[in-house]
Amino acid sequence: MVQYSLKCSLKRFVLTAMAFAIMSVAFGQDKRYGIESVILKKKYTHSENGIYGEETVFIDDFGRKEYFETVANMRGQMITAFVIIKNCFFYSFFGVHNNGNMQYSRQGTKTEMSKMEDLRTINFLSLSNEIKKEHQIEEKSSEMFLGKECKRYDLIYTLQGQSIETTVLIWQGLILKTTYYVSGNIMIEEVTEIQEDAVIAQEKFELPEGVYIAEK
């Protein structure tokens, strides 16, 4: 079961960090975060296998534009999953590190956010009672994390048909830490560094030259 849960985790974060599970909500142009721009450094760890992935997240315009780089070691090869979120769409593509250079996949995907089911589509700044009830989301006592006072929510997350008890720590609408409890094992996504009011190059939110996007 440990191998199964780790395999699911790697698939989720390497294959665009995207699991079609629960949380079906509309993704609009409303402000998603309480901070205009921020860069987050994250790591993914497994209770038995240690660190298996790292991620950098660039957020601008209060979350109306987001860019993710998720790096994982797949059988000795470094694979990077890229995600761009803007204009209510989710763009994803991949890259492979080759002799210090990044080689992008020729084809990526474009998905309308309103059709997605992903934990990141939840707007924690305006979490409705209906969504809380539907997905068994319970607000707990506040917790300090990286010097930030965070709201803690417990919920049930479903990954490939498997229900997983999950805890998230939220600051300014941002998910700073997610803990998954899977068959006695623990998987954690956590921010390790926060750069507030960051100046972000707008090129981050543009597709690399040569990447073809197929709409879903």
Distance CA 17, CA 73 (A): 14
- CATH topology for 2-215 is outer membrane lipoprotein receptor (LolB), chain A (2.50.20)
pTM: 0.80
Q: 132-166 burial, b for 16+ CB within 10 Å, e for fewer?
A: eeebebeeeeebebeebebbbbebebbbeeeebeb
Distance CA 42, CA 70 (A): 9
Contact 68, 17 (CB under 8 A): yes
Distance CA 17, CA 55 (A): 10
In this prediction, residues 100-106 reach a mean pLDDT of 74
Residue ranges per domain, the chain?
2-215
Q: 35-82 pLDDT, tens per residue?
A: 999 999 999 998 877 777 899 999 999 999 999 999 887 666 678 899
Distance CA 53, CA 169 (A): 20
The whole-number pLDDT of residue 100 equals 67
Counting every residue written for the chain, the total comes to 216
